[in-house]
Structures are given as structure tokens and as C-alpha cells.
Structure 1
Amino acid sequence: MSEYGYVPRPLRTAVADHVGGGTPPRQVLSYWKGNIPWASVKDFSEQVGAITDTQERISEAGLNASASNLIPAGTPLICTRMAVGRAAMPSVAMAINQDVKALFPAAGVSPAYLLKLLQFTQPRAEAQAVGSTVKGIRIQDYLDIAVPIADTNAQPVIATVLDTLDTAIHETEAIIAKLKAVKQGLLHDLLTRGIDANGELRPPQAEAPHLYKESTLGWIPKEWDFVRLDDVALRGSGHTPSKSVPSYWNGGIKWVSLADSHRLDNIFISETDKEISALGIANSSAVLHSAGTVILSRDAGVGKSAVLACEMAVSQHFMAWQCRDRLNNLFLYFHLQREKPKFEAIALGSTIKTIGLPYFKSYEIAVPPRAEQDQAVAALMAVEEDSTEHLLGVAKLRNLKAGLMDDLLTGRVRVTPLLEGDTP
């Protein structure tokens, strides 16, 4: 720590008292589903410093029949078992279980500041946790952790600065959640009702049956065709070159495998975990797929899809479609995204679930006129781009908070200018 930092002291010097909790007997039904929120580790979400409600509730009788305690709102809570060191502030009075402790601030210590200090201390608490199956830390050991403690007058300012960032993060996350819901609704409407000649969503079939026709997939707009995917896209797959031949690998050709599952479902895939060589392609059934090819995982991670951002090969665990003129490749991607639950449901296998290749030979799809597809894709991409922008924004805010947390709580950056009313 810099010479200008706050002097480290045991965390206990900022805590006047602490209490734990307990669990009412589960077999006594009258102890549960009451009116008292009951906090356990599962109520402590990562990077969320507030608890407004709990997954379970207990009754007054359950509270009295257990070691649980009712903790006042605004009292910092920490987990001492499992999610060790995770901290949050209850917005209402709530009971706690045995894996949670309530810390009451010492005189002159702001509760909001203490919460930030606890969050700052979490990595060290996790490092000190012990246990072979479930890790935990004794409250005495937790309180012995040395932390930099700011002056009393600086504490509320530090907490306010960090709370402001938390508010911005939570508001941005709320926007992201709303955009996700909008996307799901739009995806359903565009792929079942579509867009009419006026650029508006068609009314549902129940309201305008004359605009629809029956198909094996259900009711679809009369202007749409119902065809095998093979009729509008060139189907392919891939292979794995022999891993015992080093020259088949690391040759600069991106190769999508199950190791890239985390990169799917984000529209485009531009990077892969592994690469193969031209020699590997020449000596296997792997093929080079052009940019814009739509791929789908038919094994582990069944139903995940993406569009190739550049030329790539894929393993045998993937289907690949190069769309012809009648089918917009992004329209196909969004269609596969909507079909994901269906793919997951039909996959078979006791260890690794998979969908057999024959299934895709007869796979059918409803195809709107190309101009309508393009309009649908434009609408969905606008929502995706908006979501991406907000996701990048929340990532920047989290990085800013992490940096400020370290600077302000250690005292590396002082809040004296703010206290004096000067511009920092």
C-alpha cells in the first residue's frame, strides 16, 4: 500500500457486534411460508449489494423455534459458508440462516461504507476459507482480516460514490433485461406472424384467420412457403482430423468444436479454441465453410448456433448451412435460436445427448418472401445491437467501480476535495 493509504486494521475494529442465524425444522410445515423473509446464501447474487426479497420465508413460530434472528433493514450481511465473503444489505427486516452473519457497524462507521468494505474484502475471505467439500470461514477469522479503514468523515462520501456507480449498473442491467424480453417477444412475432406489405406486424391468426394457411408447423401467413431446409440452403457438417498427426493442427484454419460452445448464441463467431491445417482438411472429412455459413451444435450444447464471421471448418458435432438466395442467413440463425428448446427436447443419449444427421435431411422451415425476411432481420438486429451496447456499457461501469473501489477504500485516492467542496 502507498504511504498515503489508510492504515490497515482488523475488520473487527469497524464492527460493534455480529449475530448468526439458523434454520427452522423443515418437517414442521407451520414454520415455513410465513411472512418473514429468510436469507440464505442463495439470496446473495454476485455483484448485487442489496437483498430486497428472499427465495424462502418463515413464520413467527419458525423464527422462535430456531436459532435464526430477525435482522433490521440496513444491516450488512455476509456469507461465511459456500459463497464465502459475499455481502449484501437487506432493504427490509429479515431472518438469516446459519451460513449468514449480520455485522453491526461500530460507532462512527457508516453501514453503507461497511458494506463496501466487506465487498472489497471478499477475495481475501475466499482465500482463507477452508473445507474439503464446502468451504467456510469462522467469523473470528473473518473479523481478523486486516483492512484499510477510512476516516469517519470520508466514509459516507466513499459509499455515495460507489453507490452511484452501483445504481448506474443496476439501471443498465434492468434495461438489458427488458431488451431481452423485447427480443423474445419480437422473435416469436416475426417468425410466426411476420411483417405485412405496410411494414407492420400481421395480426394474430385468431384475429385474422383469412391471412393464414395451415402447415405441419401450424398456421403460417399465406405469403410464406413451407419447405425442407435443404431446398433453400446447402447442408454440410465437419470432421476432426487425426489428433495423433501434429501437422494436421495449428495451421491457421479456425475450427469450431464443442470447446467453443461458450462462443455460440452471440450471432457471429469469429474466434475458435483450436485451429487445423490445410493438410488436416485434405486428410479428413473436414471442409472449409465460407463466411456467413450458419452452424448448429447437435451434440453437447444441443441447439446452440452461430454465423461464421470468416472461413472456418467445424467438427462432426455441428451442422452447417450455406443459404441460397431465397434464405437470409441471419433469418435462419434467428429461426434456429427460436427452435433451440425443440432441439434440446428431441436430443437422445444417456451420457451425451445428440440429434442424428437423418433428422436434418427432412428438417422443414417456414420461409417468408426474401424482402420480409430482410425486414425481420433488421428489426431483430437493432434490438441485438442495442443490447450489445448496454452490455458493453455495464462492463465498463463494473471495471470503473472495481478501480474506484480499490483506490477509494485503500486511500490511494482521497475524497478530501469532495469533503471540502472543491472539484477533484
Structure 2
Amino acid sequence: MRRNNQTNWPLKKLKTIAEIVSGSTPKTSNKDYWNGNILWVTPKDLSKLRGKYIEETEKKITEAGYQSCSTTLVPAGSVLLSSRAPIGHLAIAKKELCTNQGFKTFLPKPELDSGYLYYALKYYMQEIKNIGRGAIFAEISKSMIENFEIPVPESYEDQIRIATLLSHVEAQIAARKESLKLLDELVKSAFLKMFGDPVKNEKGWEKQPLTTVCILQSGGTPSKANPNFWDGNLPWFSPKDLKKSDLWDSIDHINENVPAQTNIRLLPKDTVVIVVRGMILAHTFPVSVLRIKATINQDMKALMPQVELHSQFLAECLRSQSKFVLQQVSEAAHGTKRLDSEGLHKIGIILPPSKLQNKFAALVEKVEAIKSQYQQSLSELENLYASLSQRAFRGELDLSQSTYLTQHVQAVVAGKEISKKLREFQNSGIDLSNLSLFSENVAGSASKMLRESLNKILNDSPINTTQQISKLIQFHFKNNFDFDDLSYALNNYDSELLQDVTSYHQIRQALMELLEQEPEKLRQRFDIASKKIVLAPKR
């Protein structure tokens, strides 16, 4: 596949930089071929993979099984790409292994680093998926992938630097995701410790049907025939929005006057909402809490308590019995999954004292505050990863800053330390009297590590700042300019390369380097009229 070369590096077809082999499957009916010692990879193995290395497989084949088919043993360091059902799973072999027919495996030649190839394939994955062909499901043939081109730095060291940088940021992203998962588990564990399993009700709380303790308010959809109904900023939630426990905004919005003009009710903040219709109920029971006034569609129900029920407690009470709730899901004539009135009535809600509910809510509030910080950090890291990947494969990173590429190991360690602290607290028995300790020791140190590691990345980002600012000066300024003029230009210049170059330190450092460069690219002098030092590009 030919592409426009956006870098100074040569574009190379994959077949020129790696040997590409396919896999195969021994006959499943022959028991002598299976349960051996040879690792045999399927796309399912990669779908469960955490990280980029694979060293274990669900199934293994014998030497006889290997000899019976056309699969190929590949060495450690080979890069695996699932080429069908689905296209796009990637991994690096940590041990010698073979694959089924759903793979194209790359054996890098000596001049190609396997880590660089892994991240290059990951960066160009959408283009790779687009070349897939097939009537039933898309598949990439060997001839298709071997002619796919990627830019390759001629310096092997530069390839390693790029792979190392992206690997470090990727590790921090994984650490943030693990911390978020641990925080969710902390809330679940705290609920079960305080209240027990609502289905079994081992602690003997008063228990009533959901339909008894709550009025279930239906939602609706404004008429599409009236465009005015869809011109507004009032949140209108549907099942696709319920991917988070707290809802602050929706994908779709309606006019603020819709509740007054239709039977769609405006719901107060802190209302618990659930999905009662949709195919998602085949495997998941979505429960969320509205954090703003909002409306919902007809596939959801809003729970309006008629007894003392804290929204955080009610939401977790429902989540903790998701397995039981899904057993009550029925199927409509047209195949849609639904929770009908009978199913909703079978869901039981335990009723512990409000004081205990409030203690649980206090824990959730602290955890959610930390999750918010982690989520923001995760979003920034994911944006950073995307930006660095783009710059890396466009040749826009200053790879001479090799120290940058090793500085972030400490940040990765910090992310792992956060997860360790969370596990320690979770295993401590979750004594609610430790909330202040949790907030100060775990949350405080975690937040500090988050800020320090993220700031280090953002402030030290290996853009060739001096080179980019020099280009901007040559393009933007014909005559004299001062520091404020340059700062304004940087903040308003339409360039992804310069969007992070706004700090005083970065600009000052770049200007100092330009003033000292030979041949001279920038001059400074004292301007009598303005009574300040000005700069001018040397042309």
C-alpha cells in the first residue's frame, strides 16, 4: 500500500524488513495433536492479553500436531497480528510459539526493532483494517500485508527510543486503568462488608420489592417531527450513555421546554436510573446516578424512592445483584431484551438505617473524587500517547533527547505504587473509621504522584521546541517582536506541534538557543521607542 511520506525516513514495505508467515490448526479430532508443550496462539488469547507480550496460551499442541499442519514456529521477538475475526490484535512473542490461521506473524530482520514494528502497526491499524477483504468477515491476506508500507528510521537506536517512549506512556495508562478498577472494587467490597449480599440478605435487613420502595418513572422521546424539540441543551439520556456510574452530560440534548410541553418528566439530580429495555441486558445491567437535572428515553426507568434511600446506596444495592437481575430479563416478540414489571418486582431492596447508608455514601464520595482525578489523568495520558505516536511516525520527535526516554520509568513505578496502596487499603478490612487515613495517605500521595508524573511528561515532551519555534518566527515575524508577541503567536498558531509549547521556561530556553546558534538565526537589541529589548529574525 502506497502512502504519502510525511517523514524524512524511507517508507519500506513490510516484506522487505520482516519475514511474514501464517499459521494453521491441527485436526481437532486427533487427540494426539493436542495438550502438548508447544504454545499455539489464537485471536482469543490476544483478546485477553494485558500488555504487549504473550508467553502463555490457552491451548498447546504436540510435536505430532505441529508436524501435521502448516503452522510455523516463530522465535521470541516475533510480532503477531490477528488477520481475521477480528483484524487488529497485536502482540510480541516472549517465547517460541506458533499460531492458528488467523494470524500474520512478522519475524523482523536485524535492522528492525520488534518494539518499533509493534507500535508502527498499532499506529497504522485503521489503515491495515481498511485493506481487509471478505464477504462474510474481513481478512487480510499475506500479499496485502507484505506490501503495506511503514516509515522506518535508519538508526536502530532511534527505533528503540520511539518504542521505549511509547511503551513508558502505555505503561502509565495501564497503571491508571488498574487504579480505577481497584477503586471500583473497593466500593463493591465496602458495600458487601457493610450490608452483605442483598439477594441472600445474610444480615437480616428489612427487605422490600423495588416496585414497593420506589416509583418507577418512565422516559420518552420527543417527536422527531418537531425540530424545535431537539434544539436545546437539556440532557436527554439513553442506554448508550450509561457507561459511567455518575452521569454529568448526555450525548443527545433536547429543548428546555420539552418537559412542559410533553409527558417527558424533568428528573432531579441524584436520581438513580436503570436500563429496562435493549440488547445490553443480555449481558449487563446498567445503573447510574444523575448528577444534574435531566430527562431519559423510554428504554430507561428513573427510581423515585418512597422511603429513606440514599442514591449512592440504592445504586450500589442494584449493581451488587446484577447477576440476579439479569436472570429476570425476558425477551420481547421481536427479540429485544427487557425487564418487565414482573421482573422488576422480583428485585429486592434491603433497608438498613439511613445513618449507615450515609456512611457508605461518604466513602463513595471520597472514592469518586479520587476517580475523577485518575480519570482526568488517564484522559491526558491517552491524548499524550496519541500525540506522541503521531509525532513519532511523522518524524517530529527530537530523538536526541535520549534522557527523556528513560525519565518516565519512575512515573510508571509511581503508578504501580498507587495501585499497591489501593490494594493494601482494600485488604485492610475497609474499616470506615479509616476514611480520613485513606483520604490523606492513599488519595493524597496518589494525587501527588499523578501530578508529578504527568507534569514531567507534559513539560519534558520531546518535541524539538527550538526548531519549531524557529520555523514559527521565520513564518510569522518579518520585523521586530518581543516575548509577549511570541507567546501570543504560540497560543494562537494552528499547529499540533506547538500546542504544548506555551510555558515561559520552554519559550525562554528556545530563544536562548536560537540566539547562541551558529549561523545566527535571531538577533536582539534595545528598542528606544518602546524602551525594551526586542528580537528580530536573521534573514
2:422 matched residue in structure 1: none
1:119 matched residue in structure 2: 122
| C-alpha distance in 1 between matches for 2:131 and 2:368 | 42
Q: Within the alignment, does 1:145 sit opposite 2:148 as a pair?
A: yes
Task: From 404, 411, 414, give the equivalent of 2:395.
Answer: 411
> Gaps spanning 5+ residues in structure 2: where?
407-459, 463-539
Return closer, same or farther for 1:30/1:391 CA change in 2, 3 Å cut-off. farther
TM-score (norm 2): 0.65
User: Would the aligned equivalents of 1:39 and 1:97 in 2 still touch at CA under 8 Å?
Assistant: yes
The number of equivalent residue pairs is: 397
| C-alpha distance in 1 between matches for 2:85 and 2:208 | 52
Task: From 230, 235, 257, give the equivalent of 1:254.
Answer: 235
Q: Which amino acid aligns with 1:335?
A: C
Task: From 34, 41, 44, give the equivalent of 2:43.
Answer: 41
User: Would the aligned equivalents of 1:78 and 1:100 in 2 still touch at CA under 8 Å?
Assistant: yes
Q: Within the alignment, does 1:62 sit opposite 2:65 as a pair?
A: yes
Q: Deviations over 1:106-133 (max 9, x none)?
A: 2322232232233233232222222222
| C-alpha distance in 1 between matches for 2:124 and 2:50 | 13
1:173 matched residue in structure 2: 177
Aligned-pair distance for 1:333?
1.2
User: Would the aligned equivalents of 2:274 and 2:302 in 1 still touch at CA under 8 Å?
Assistant: yes
Aligned partner of residue 70 in structure 1, secondary structure: coil
Return closer, same or farther for 1:143/1:367 CA change in 2, 3 Å cut-off. same
Aligned-pair distance for 1:48?
4.2
Greater relative CO, 1 or 2 (CA 8 Å, sep 6+): 1
| C-alpha distance in 1 between matches for 2:183 and 2:32 | 41
User: Would the aligned equivalents of 2:40 and 2:60 in 1 still touch at CA under 8 Å?
Assistant: yes
Task: From 186, 190, 209, give the equivalent of 1:186.
Answer: 190
Q: Deviations over 1:322-364 (max 9, x none)?
A: 3467221111111121232222211212412222236556864
Q: Which amino acid aligns with 2:34?
A: W
Q: Within the alignment, does 1:157 sit opposite 2:165 as a pair?
A: no
2:378 matched residue in structure 1: 394
Aligned partner of residue 38 in structure 2, secondary structure: strand
| C-alpha distance in 2 between matches for 1:135 and 1:21 | 17
Aligned-pair distance for 1:378?
2.2
Task: From 269, 279, 287, give the equivalent of 1:291.
Answer: 269
Aligned-pair distance for 1:277?
4.6
Return closer, same or farther for 1:294/1:72 CA change in 2, 3 Å cut-off. same
1:376 matched residue in structure 2: 360
Q: Which amino acid aligns with 1:132?
A: A
Aligned-pair distance for 1:160?
2.0
Aligned-pair distance for 1:6?
1.4
| C-alpha distance in 2 between matches for 1:354 and 1:140 | 47
> Gaps spanning 5+ residues in structure 1: where?
194-215
2:11 matched residue in structure 1: 8
Aligned partner of residue 153 in structure 1, secondary structure: helix
Say which structure is richer in helix: 2
Q: Within the alignment, does 1:352 sit opposite 2:336 as a pair?
A: yes
Q: Within the alignment, does 1:263 sit opposite 2:241 as a pair?
A: yes
User: Would the aligned equivalents of 1:113 and 1:155 in 2 still touch at CA under 8 Å?
Assistant: yes
Q: Which amino acid aligns with 2:117?
A: L
1:366 matched residue in structure 2: 350
Q: Deviations over 1:340-391 (max 9, x none)?
A: 2222211212412222236556864211111110111222343444444434
Aligned-pair distance for 1:83?
3.6
Q: Which amino acid aligns with 1:307?
A: V
Q: Which amino acid aligns with 1:173?
A: K
Aligned-pair distance for 1:23?
0.4
| C-alpha distance in 1 between matches for 2:349 and 2:216 | 14
Residue identity (%): 22
| C-alpha distance in 2 between matches for 1:144 and 1:159 | 23
Q: Which amino acid aligns with 1:407?
A: R
2:472 matched residue in structure 1: none
Return closer, same or farther for 1:39/1:395 CA change in 2, 3 Å cut-off. farther
Q: Which amino acid aligns with 2:44?
A: K
TM-score (norm 1): 0.81
Q: Within the alignment, does 1:239 sit opposite 2:220 as a pair?
A: yes
User: Would the aligned equivalents of 1:44 and 1:87 in 2 still touch at CA under 8 Å?
Assistant: yes
Aligned partner of residue 130 in structure 1, secondary structure: coil
Return closer, same or farther for 1:168/1:277 CA change in 2, 3 Å cut-off. closer
Q: Which amino acid aligns with 2:361?
A: V
Higher mean C-alpha deviation, range 172-181 or range 313-322 = 172-181
2:250 matched residue in structure 1: 272
